Amino acid sequence: MDPSLLRTDDIAVASTVTPKIPQPPVITQKAVLSHALRHLAFLIATDKNRIYTQVISEETKTRFMALDQELAGRISG
């Protein structure tokens, strides 16, 4: 999968009602890429020492801040 083809609204968070049973049962490239982008968004959002934000542009920072920053997924129910 070409990462440039992944639109922001395509970055989905996996969810489950049972934490011991991961969802989705099949992990796609899109899911892995979404997970990685959310991790980067979390690191940027919590970067008090400017380790990451000092090397990215304001536009890049703004785009990452617009992402859902949950690290792995949601447990609902």
Q: Where are the domains of the chain?
A: 3-75
Total-model pTM:
0.64
Are 24 and 31 in contact by the 8 Å Cβ rule? The answer is yes
- Amino acid at site 59: E
Residue 30 has what DSSP assignment? H
Mean pLDDT, residues 39-63 taken together:
90
Give the residue, 60 or 20, on which the prediction is more confident.
60
pLDDT at residue 54 greater than cutoff 90: yes
Mean pLDDT, residues 7-11 taken together:
62
Mean pLDDT, residues 44-62 taken together:
91
Cα 22 from Cα 38, distance rounded (Å):
18
